[in-house]
Each structure stands twice: as C-alpha cells, then as structure tokens.
Structure 1
Amino acid sequence: MLIIFLQEFFLFVITKAILKKRSIQLFDISFVAVSLGVTYAFYSLLQDRVSFLVVLLCIIYAYWYEHNISKSVIIAMEITMLSMVADHLASLVMLFFDSMRLYLLLFSIFQSLLIIMVYTVRLRTNCKPFFEDQKLNRTTAALLCIVYLYIILSEGWKNQANVIFSNLIILLVMIGLFVIIYNEYLNNVKSKYEVQKQRIQIQNDTRYMNEIEAHYNELRRFRHDYQNMLISIDEYLKTDDLEGLQEYYQKNLAPVSNRVLKEKYNLEDLSRVKVKSIKSILFSKLSYAQSQEIEVHFDLKEPLIDITVNELDLDIALGIMLDNAIEASVGHADGEIMSAIFIEKNSTVFLIQNNVFEQLPPLWKLKEAGYSTKGKNRGIGLNSLSKIVNRNENMILETRVLGAVFLQRLTVKRVSQND
C-alpha cells in the first residue's frame, strides 16, 4: 500500500510539472488528500488494479486546469508512462539485487529526477504536452490509452524481468515516437505560420501603400484648394474688401480648418512604431476609422523596436480589437477611438478604447463564438481574440466596460512569468 501511495503522490507532482504550475493551492492539497483516501478505501477491492483508479484521478486533476477531456487524458497517460519508466527501472534493479527497500529508494530517486527534468523542459521551452489540433489530440489520447492497457495487462502484475524489460523498451520507444511526431508537428505548424505570416505581411504592405497613396492624393487636393483660397483672398485684399473677406473666411475657410483639426491624428507617434506589421495594422485601421468620420487618437512616447510574442498573433489580435472599436463607433456623431502603446520595464501594453452607444451584455457573453450585438453570423472576433491570448503565455487581455467606455488592454510580457 505504501508503494501505491508513493506512486500516486509522484504522479500528482509530475502533473503539476507538466501543467507548469509551480504554486501549491488549497485545491491541490485537498485533491491529493481526497485521492489518497479514495485509493485507500478501494485498495482492498481492486488490489493492484487500483492503478486504473489512480489514472482516472489524474485525468480529473488535469481536467480541472485544462477543461478539455482529450488534453487531460494525454497528460495523464504521459505522466503515467513516464512514471512507469521509473518504476520499471527500479523493478529491474530490485530483481537483480532482490531487495524491496532498494526499490523504494530507487523509485523515489528516479521519480525525483523525472520531476526535475519535466520542470526544466517545460520552463525553458515552449513545448506543450499536447497539440492545438483537437482531432489529433483525441487520436493521440486513444493510442496512449491502448498502449497503457497493453502494458498493464501484459505484465499481469508479475515482476518478471523479461516482461518488465520488454515493456520498458516499448515505453521508451513510444516516448521517442511521441517526441518525433511532436517535433514534426511543430515544424509543420511553423511552416504554415511562415506562409500565413508572408500572406498577412503582403496584405498589410498593400493596404499600407494604398493608405499612403490616398493620403498623398488628399494632400494634392488640399494643395490645389489652398492655392485657390490664396487667390480668392488676394482678390479681397487688393480691393480692400475686409467685410467680404471676413464673410468668405467664416463661410469657406473656417469649416475646412475645423475639419482638418478634427480629423488629425498623431502620425508622428505612429512613426515610432518600428515593427512593420504592427505599424501597418495601426495605420490602416486608424486611417479607415478616420475616413468613417470617427475621431481617432494614438499615443506612443518612445520607439517600439520589437515584440516578444508571436508577431502574426499580435497582428490579428490588434486587428480584431480595432475592428470591434470601429464597428462600435461608426455611424455615431460622437464616435471616438483612443489608442496607445505603453512600453514598460517588463512589458508592452496596447490600449484601445471606444465609446459605447448601446447597452452591452455581460463580457462572458460577448466572448462566446457566434454571439454578436450586430446580428447573426458574426461575433467571432472576441472569441478568436480569447483563443489567441490563451495560446500565448506571455499575453494578458483585460476587457472592461467603464461607464460609456469599452476598454481593452493587451499586455505582452517581455520576460515569461509563470505561476
């Protein structure tokens, strides 16, 4: 029974390592205590088959953090197989020296080394214990379950050296294959990402050039109008018609001056954005908002040279945030979008806020896929934004409604900070 308790304890610790959870919460202590009690209660009935119960408890424990059954099964199977490697190594040494005490010592040492290895890999790399593709996760979970059942049933819980050795080889081969498949999966994802990044970059560059051309044409028109205004003013001055000049100014020049001031946003600050894709997204979206007669403001005090997150994900996230702000403001006389980038010591903060002109539902409702205040077949923006933030560990999204203002604050941490 002591061995079962020891194995169960190490399984939960390894689960914490794979989940990259360093802090101990009340739930963790309570769950382990309850699990040990349940295992003790059913041990007399299940005997050595209590291992199945332990695996089930590990799945439940992982599900508490991941909220996904296929991912939870994969995590439970992975830690179980890693633990079984330590168990088989300790069993082989125990059979060789015929000492049960030596087994407990070796098992504890191997499990401790395993925990250190898992924590090191998870904290120093971006490797995850599962895939982003749900179909692939379900297939992997099923295969791992089959391998686990085969090893358990083939041993028959008899400590025969040849069976233990052969199953150890199977476990090591399976772990090796999983690492190879995961590596190929990452390479495939990386290739798709590079292609998508290039496509997005081309779209952004095209949009950027179109906006530059539009502003250039607007400048040419303004210069032409400005020349005509100077000619008309000159005629009033030549004839000393100051009353006519004043009337002309109030009727023709003052509205143009007010419109120029109202539509102005800080192009000088945008020039401080050195990341081309980010600048392209901001420039194109803010320019479009301006063309829709939305008052737009942008603020950045120091150059944004680089970012420490997936650039494509950040582009898409900012695009969604700005699109939502534009959609909420367009058509309203008081529509206004405030945007800014704050470069702090350990993070870069992207802030976007817009006026609210209607009663909004709860924020959790807005993040549901397919839900929109604008009608059917819309509302994928905030849901997609949440998925992007969830898959980037150094991204934090804060969404608030403060009176008549909808505020979104996207923080990109420069140094990964794990709990």
Structure 2
Amino acid sequence: MTFFQVMCGNLLSLSETALFFVCVSFQLLGEIPNKTKKQKYTIFSSLFLFIFWVSFLSTVLYKTGAFYWEPHIGRVMIEYIQIIGYMLVLRVMYRKPYGICMATAAFHNLLYLLAWNFQDFFAPNRIYDLGNPAERREYLFYEWIATPLAFILVVLLLNKTKAGKIYRQWESQKLRGGVLVFMAFSPIASRLLQGLIEKSERFQDYNPMSTMLFILILYLIFVYDGLREQQKKRIEEQNVSLRQQEAYIENLEGLQREVCRFRHDFKNMMSGMYMQAKEGDLEAIQSYIQEMTSDFDMQVGSQIRIMNQLANIRVAEVKGLFLEKLKVMQEEEIHCELEVLKPFEKTGLRSTDLCRCLGILLDNAMEEVRGKKDGKIHVMISSQSGCTTFRVKNTMHSSVDFHKIGTLGYSTKGENRGIGLANYKKILERYDRILPLTTIQDGFFIQELKVQES
C-alpha cells in the first residue's frame, strides 16, 4: 500500500479513536468548562491536529518498518505519540496541569487497549486479504461495528462504575507523584508485563490480562490514595474543629469578662443618672444613656455581632480562618466588621484554595491598616442568585498602581514583598467561573471575588 493509502486509513481510524477519547474525557473529567464559541473552535482545531499528526507519524513508522522493531519499540513509540498528542488536547479542553493531562491521556490509552481486547472476541487477531470480498466484509464489520461497540462498552463501564467520581477525587488531591510516574511508564511496563505473561519471542497484540491487570493496579492505587486523602481530611477537620472550639471558648471568656466589667460599671452609671433624673435634667439623662449605650456597644455588642456573623459561616475551614484572623486583629486593636448576609455553606472553589485566597486578602488589608488609628477593615460574604461574593475592604493609607497589582514583587510596602497577590492570581487561574475585582472607592481599597456557582 502507498503512503497516501495508509495515511487515509489511519485518519479514519484515528477519527474514531479521538471520538472515543472525548467520550472518556467527559466520563473522567466532566463537562468542558467555559464553552465559548472561541473555545469550541480551539478544541476542534486541537482534535484535528491530534488526528492528523498521530496519523502521519504512525504512517511514517509503519512504512519505515519501525512499527515492527523488537522489542516492541515501534509500538511503544506510537503509544507515546498518541499519549503526548492527547495530553495537549486535554490541556486545551480542560486547562488542567500538564501532569494531570499526561496521566489522563495515559489512562485513555489503557482504556483504548482494553476496548481492542474486547473487540478481539468478535474478530480474533488476523491479517485480512482485502482483495477477497468475504474477508473485506469481515474486515469492515470488525473495523466499523465491532470496534465502535467495544468503545461504547468501555464508556458504559466507566459510567456504571462511577469511575469519573473516583478519578476526579484523585485529581483534586495534592499528592499524586506515584500515580503520575506509574502512568508515564505504563506503555513500557505494559509491554514488559505482556512478555512475562505470554513468554513468547514475538508479540503481535496485547494479551488481555496485561491491560486488565494494569487497570486493576491503577484502580487500587486510586482507591488507596482516596482513602488516605479522606483520612487526612478527617484529621484536618478535627484539628480545625478543635481550633474553632478553642477560639470560641476564648471569645466567650472575653465576652464574659466584658459583661462582668460592664456590670461593675453599670451601678456607678445608674447612680450618676439617678442624680440627674432627680434634678429633672432630661437632656443630660438622654446624653448619659447614649454614652452608656455606646460604651456597651464598644465593650460587648461588637463581639456579639461578630459571633452572630461567624455562626452564618458553615464551611469549617473558612470559619477557622476568620476566627484566627479576628483574634489577631483584636490583639492588634484593628477595627474589623464582618458581615455574612446569608448562611454560607459551599462554593465552587476548593476549601483549601478559598482559604488561601481569603487569607491573602485579609493579610494585605491588615498590613495596610496596622498601626493606623483610623484604620478599618470590612469583610462581607454574600450567597445569593447562584453567586457567592467575598469582599474585603480596608481604608487606604498609601498609593496603589493598578497596572502592577498582582505582579510578583510589586508591593506598596517596599522591596521583597508582593508575593501574596501574585499567588492569589495564580490560584484563580485554575478556575473558570471566577470574577476577581479590584477597585478604590471613597478612600477604601476593595478586593472582591465573585464565584458563579451555577
């Protein structure tokens, strides 16, 4: 067959493979985020380049005889070409880190091999004489009926076993080094495992046991990592809960001390007001009551309001963060108002990423007002209409260059600073339905983060 004929055959075969890969991607990683018209064109173009490039290189390897090099070098090369190509497609589709895209593409390759093992039940490995009408019909059945059915079977298995949930749980974890290395070397290791199983001098196709064993090993790794991560998360939640209880106890003790102090002063205040009432000085009585109310609000009322607002934060990690930051602000005598308009229960951001972002914004606000008599911080959390808004507002005491905000190294506090907002910007780049906003209004520097929840 000529180069052009082989290339055309590979283009048709790779088109079918690409469609299978896309279906598997939906099962493992979910829907494609930010599906704008431009994004759709970009994804379509990347898939076309993937099909053409892999088809071209596969044809070159086939025509040069590299496809049959021992021990399976040509076949392993084709698998890595396919993995690298689809890794770049996944990067365009989901904007995940390259490591995750590589592991996902390698997993796609294993599932692709599993599908081929399934189709061998319909048509065992053989060489067809396409000049023979009977064998040509058998080949067409094998290529365009048996193969798609095998692909559909694999996709259904992923859906029924809820493999996507397990995979996304693993993908959201931080520690994945072992799995990444395992997946990176899976084509080579699979060939070595096949040799141990078949003990043959020349392998024409995969033994089904090698692919099944690899997928089983990978599944066990995912389950193990998932259980380990759940255990780690439970420990972290228990630590957060303990810190919250300690902070609550400290706040309650402080509130009790303030109430006792106010109660002690209340008798003296009432004595003074009694004398003014006896003299009939109503204006003095009103002024005295206003001062007394103001003192109560300053000593006790503000703490009660903050604790009421904290009760509306239902995310343990976020509540723990605010308890720690409010404690520091109270010790440093930084005036802070917390306003949670509705119970805040969940958001599209990972709790660790959200705490990092809010921590950066709060630290910057505290740094700006620290030591300033009129320094104020106002924090607002609003959850409504499918959108969660986080706003941190502080009084301004220095000039800001908006063009440099978020640039590594830029800070109004001097050199070797400005890392926080750069990290904040980098974290938000991982998400699509996020709208950060920075503005100045009425002498306040405002950092706002909107999360589109649905």
Q: 1:114 aligns with which of 150, 154, 159?
A: 154
Aligned mates of 1:364, 1:114 — CA distance in 2: 50
Partner of 1:59: 87
Letter in 1 for 2:84: L
Partner of 1:273: 312
Alignment of 1:245-394 (within 5 A): 265=302, 266-267=305-306, 269-270=308-309, 273=312, 275=314, 277=316, 281-282=321-322, 285-286=325-326, 288-289=328-329, 292-302=332-342, 304=343, 306-307=345-346, 318=358, 321-344=361-384, 346=386, 349-360=389-400, 366=406, 374=413
Q: 1:85 to 1:380 in 2, by over 3 A?
A: same
Q: Secondary structure at the match of 1:407?
A: strand
Q: TM-score, normalised by structure 1?
A: 0.74
Shift, 1:339, TM fit: 2.6
Letter in 2 for 1:88: N
Q: 1:134 to 1:234 in 2, by over 3 A?
A: same
Partner of 1:216: 256
Aligned mates of 1:367, 1:398 — CA distance in 2: 18
Partner of 2:108: 79
1:36 aligns with 2:36: no
Aligned mates of 2:418, 2:175 — CA distance in 1: 22
Q: 1:9 to 1:163 in 2, by over 3 A?
A: same
Q: Is the 8 A contact 1:131 1:137 kept in 2?
A: no
Q: Is the 8 A contact 2:395 2:445 kept in 1?
A: yes
Shift, 1:178, TM fit: 0.7
How many residue pairs end up in the alignment?
401
Q: 1:84 to 1:71 in 2, by over 3 A?
A: same
Letter in 2 for 1:46: L
Shift, 1:293, TM fit: 4.3
Q: Secondary structure at the match of 2:220?
A: helix
Q: 1:272 to 1:135 in 2, by over 3 A?
A: closer
Letter in 2 for 1:61: V
Q: 2:21 aligns with which of 11, 24, 27?
A: 11
Shift, 1:205, TM fit: 1.1
Q: Is the 8 A contact 2:79 2:109 kept in 1?
A: no
Aligned mates of 1:144, 1:131 — CA distance in 2: 21
Q: Is the 8 A contact 2:315 2:345 kept in 1?
A: no
Aligned mates of 2:337, 2:53 — CA distance in 1: 60
- Tell me which moved more, 304-313 or 93-102: 304-313
Partner of 1:400: 437
1:102 aligns with 2:141: yes
Shift, 1:408, TM fit: 3.0
Shift, 1:87, TM fit: 1.5
Q: 2:40 aligns with which of 19, 22, 25?
A: 25
Letter in 2 for 1:26: Y
Shift, 1:116, TM fit: 4.7
Q: TM-score, normalised by structure 2?
A: 0.69
1:91 aligns with 2:101: no
1:68 aligns with 2:97: yes
Aligned mates of 2:306, 2:86 — CA distance in 1: 55
Aligned mates of 2:155, 2:163 — CA distance in 1: 11
Q: 1:28 to 1:152 in 2, by over 3 A?
A: farther
- Tell me which moved more, 379-388 or 52-61: 379-388
Aligned mates of 2:418, 2:433 — CA distance in 1: 21
Q: 1:60 to 1:165 in 2, by over 3 A?
A: closer
Aligned mates of 1:388, 1:174 — CA distance in 2: 34
Aligned mates of 1:123, 1:363 — CA distance in 2: 41
Partner of 2:177: 135
Gaps of 5+ in 2: 1-8, 68-73, 127-134
Q: 1:14 to 1:366 in 2, by over 3 A?
A: same
Aligned mates of 1:291, 1:130 — CA distance in 2: 36
Letter in 1 for 2:448: Q
Shift, 1:82, TM fit: 0.4
Give the share of equivalent positions with the same residue, in percent.
17
Output one character per residue of 1:220-239: Cα deviation in whole Å (capped at 9) or x when no partner. Answer: 2223233333334556677x
Q: 1:86 to 1:210 in 2, by over 3 A?
A: same
Aligned mates of 2:270, 2:85 — CA distance in 1: 83
Q: Is the 8 A contact 1:59 1:72 kept in 2?
A: yes
Q: Is the 8 A contact 1:85 1:172 kept in 2?
A: yes
Shift, 1:191, TM fit: 1.0
Q: Is the 8 A contact 2:47 2:89 kept in 1?
A: no
Q: Is the 8 A contact 1:18 1:129 kept in 2?
A: no
What is the Cα-based RMSD across aligned positions, in Å? 4.5
Partner of 2:189: 147
Q: Is the 8 A contact 1:208 1:284 kept in 2?
A: no
Gaps of 5+ in 1: none
Aligned mates of 2:265, 2:306 — CA distance in 1: 22
1:174 aligns with 2:195: no
Shift, 1:38, TM fit: 2.7
Q: Is the 8 A contact 2:377 2:395 kept in 1?
A: yes
Output one character per residue of 1:167-221: Cα deviation in whole Å (capped at 9) or x when no partner. Answer: x211111111111111111111111111121112111211121122112212222
Aligned mates of 1:201, 1:400 — CA distance in 2: 32
- Tell me which moved more, 123-132 or 134-143: 123-132
Aligned mates of 1:387, 1:203 — CA distance in 2: 29
Aligned mates of 2:52, 2:155 — CA distance in 1: 24
Shift, 1:151, TM fit: 7.5
